[in-house]
């Protein structure tokens, strides 16, 4: 009886969500502008891959989805959630939010696969347990990977499993950032701003050296850094798979972790984490508690991407005359979708890069176009992901760059894989690594 009541209330909730979704979808005028900016349509030329096609599908959601929820989900799943369509839509249709809501509805109706339940509900939802599993994975990963001789100045390893299409993966770090960070916190009395560092899964577990540089840079600028322990994921992997429950748990976890920290700004080095905190948390977190909602609003206001914080708040500037740099190695920049399209942050990373006078900066064509990663999109649709990624590699290469910088660890993984696939010796770095070379290790890149 209790179960039946729960099921009815769940269905009522889903129907309510669908009504809201129908209203959002109705704003689309079918103008087709989103077609020209969709990286997926650009490689498939398939109308059902573009926002307009997907919205037409959702238009009949109330009718079609009970008949064929699996088919609707499969079509919705062919999306990078890059936000290019939303950023260019003249009617302000936020396709990313619509698709996320639709995935939540469908997953609520159909249930989730066992493997996703294990990953999201038992691993990701329990940050300390997740950390232990990843530490174990870092020790034993070379049973499943083999080291390759193709290096893009990242230690790439090739997957041996045919299921994973012989990807060239950036391996898990031997020690996560949270295991090595305690010595980095400067305890002497600092008078500057207090900044809480939201590390994010990929910087913590794959690129701890980038997280270390972020703390060192903040220390250099006399900023007091607070790193709350046992931080969790921002929640976007779970929500992208329609798991509202895990997403809510992770947002609550972060609110609890950061609530007591007392800080002026919250900074991340991951474009996806920043965009998720600033845009997806307020739109998708479901809480009945006014305290939590108000804590969330405060946190969102204080959240900055690291390049934005360094340039807009601390006033870092490029100090080099362009003609001085002609004989220097070329660096180019790839705009992560979540920085450029979701948050409109694009000049700050370029200023930060150009603060390092050891390089000459060259803009690539279509720097703002998606690299093809799209989180789980890359796992589910590797062929499409590489088709998109190869276009990015061609644009990087045509600048003559020795280095490509970006502000998102997921983009770094994709660029490393795509460049290694094409056997291109172009180094992939996080934007802050170039800035720290300049201020902390002058002469290293000369
Ligand atoms: S650009 Fe906006 S209004 Fe035009 S088809 Fe795409 S989603 Fe609809
Ligand atoms: S979010 Fe990106 S991939 Fe998805 S429909 Fe919009 S433009 Fe295309």
Average pLDDT by stretches of 10, the chain with 446 residues: 64 72 83 91 88 74 67 84 94 91 85 90 93 91 70 56 68 92 69 90 96 95 92 96 95 89 91 97 87 91 97 87 69 98 97 94 97 90 95 97 97 94 92 92 60
Question: Is 79's C-beta closer than 6 angstroms to any atom of ligand 2?
Answer: yes
Question: Is 91's C-beta closer than 6 angstroms to any atom of ligand 1?
Answer: yes
Confidence at residue 30, expressed as pLDDT on a 0 to 100 scale = 87
HSE-up of residue 303 (Cα within 13 Å, Cβ side): 29
What residue's CA is closest to ligand 2, atom 4? Answer: 79
Question: Is 80's C-beta closer than 6 angstroms to any atom of ligand 2?
Answer: yes
d(CA 334, CA 420): 17
Confidence at residue 164, expressed as pLDDT on a 0 to 100 scale = 61
Closest atom, ligand 2, to C-alpha of 50? 5
Closest atom, ligand 2, to C-alpha of 84? 7
d(CA 132, CA 188): 31
Q: Are 98 and 24 in contact (CB under 8 A)?
A: yes
- Cα 432 vs. chain centroid, distance in angstroms? 16
Question: Is 96's C-beta closer than 6 angstroms to any atom of ligand 2?
Answer: yes
What residue's CA is closest to ligand 1, atom 6? Answer: 34
Lookup result for tokens 């290694």: 420
Give the ligand at the shortest distance from the Cα of 27.
Answer: 1
Confidence at residue 394, expressed as pLDDT on a 0 to 100 scale = 97
User: Which domains are assigned to the chain?
Assistant: 2-110 (1.10.1060), 322-439 (3.40.50.1860)
Is pTM beyond 0.85? Reply is yes
Closest atom, ligand 1, to C-alpha of 33? 1
Confidence at residue 303, expressed as pLDDT on a 0 to 100 scale = 97
HSE-up of residue 65 (Cα within 13 Å, Cβ side): 28
Q: End-to-end CA distance of the chain, in Å?
A: 73
Question: Is 95's C-beta closer than 6 angstroms to any atom of ligand 2?
Answer: yes
The two tokens of residue 78 are: 């062919």
Q: How far is the CA of 314 from the centre of ligand 2 (A)?
A: 34
Q: Are 436 and 213 in contact (CB under 8 A)?
A: yes
């Amino acid at each position: 009886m209790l179960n039946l009541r729960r099921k009815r209330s769940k269905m009522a909730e889903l129907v309510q969500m669908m009504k809201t979704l129908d209203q959002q979808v109705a704003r689309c005028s079918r103008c087709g502008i989103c077609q020209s900016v969709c990286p997926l349509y650009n490689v498939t030329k398939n109308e059902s891959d573009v926002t307009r096609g997907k919205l037409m599908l959702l238009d009949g959601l109330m009718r079609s989805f009970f008949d064929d929820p699996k088919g609707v989900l499969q079509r919705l799943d062919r999306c990078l959630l890059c936000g290019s369509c939303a950023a260019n839509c003249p009617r302000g249709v936020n396709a990313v939010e619509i698709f996320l809501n639709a995935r939540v509805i469908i997953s609520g109706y159909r249930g989730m696969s066992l493997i996703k339940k294990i990953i999201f509900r038992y691993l990701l939802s329990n940050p300390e347990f997740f950390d232990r599993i990843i530490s174990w994975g870092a020790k034993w990963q070379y049973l499943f990977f083999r080291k390759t001789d193709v290096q893009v100045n990242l230690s790439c390893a090739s997957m041996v499993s045919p299921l994973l299409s012989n990807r060239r993966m950036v391996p898990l770090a031997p020690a996560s950032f949270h295991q090595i960070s305690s010595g980095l916190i400067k305890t002497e009395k600092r008078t500057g701003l207090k900044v809480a560092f939201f590390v994010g899964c990929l910087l913590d577990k794959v690129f701890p050296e980038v997280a270390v540089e972020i703390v060192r840079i903040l220390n250099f600028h006399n900023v007091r850094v607070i790193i709350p322990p046992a931080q969790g994921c921002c929640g976007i992997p779970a929500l992208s798979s329609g798991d509202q429950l895990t997403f809510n748990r992770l947002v609550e976890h972060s609110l609890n972790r950061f609530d007591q920290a007392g800080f002026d700004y919250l900074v991340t080095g991951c474009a996806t984490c920043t965009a998720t905190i600033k845009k997806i948390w307020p739109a998708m977190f479901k809480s009945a508690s006014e305290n939590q909602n108000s804590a969330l609003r405060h946190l969102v206001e204080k959240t900055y991407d690291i390049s934005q914080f360094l340039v807009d708040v601390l006033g870092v500037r490029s100090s080099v005359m362009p003609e001085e740099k002609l004989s220097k190695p070329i660096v180019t920049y790839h705009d992560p979708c979540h920085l450029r399209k979701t948050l409109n942050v694009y000049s700050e990373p370029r200023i930060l890069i150009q603060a390092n006078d050891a390089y000459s900066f060259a803009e690539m064509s279509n720097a703002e176009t998606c690299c093809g990663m799209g989180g789980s999109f890359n796992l589910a649709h590797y062929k499409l992901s590489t088709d998109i990624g190869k276009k990015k590699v061609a644009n990087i290469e045509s600048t003559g760059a020795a280095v490509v910088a970006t502000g998102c660890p997921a983009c770094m993984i994709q660029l490393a894989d795509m460049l290694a696939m094409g056997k291109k010796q172009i180094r992939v770095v996080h934007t802050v690594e170039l800035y720290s070379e300049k201020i902390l290790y002058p002469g290293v890149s000369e």
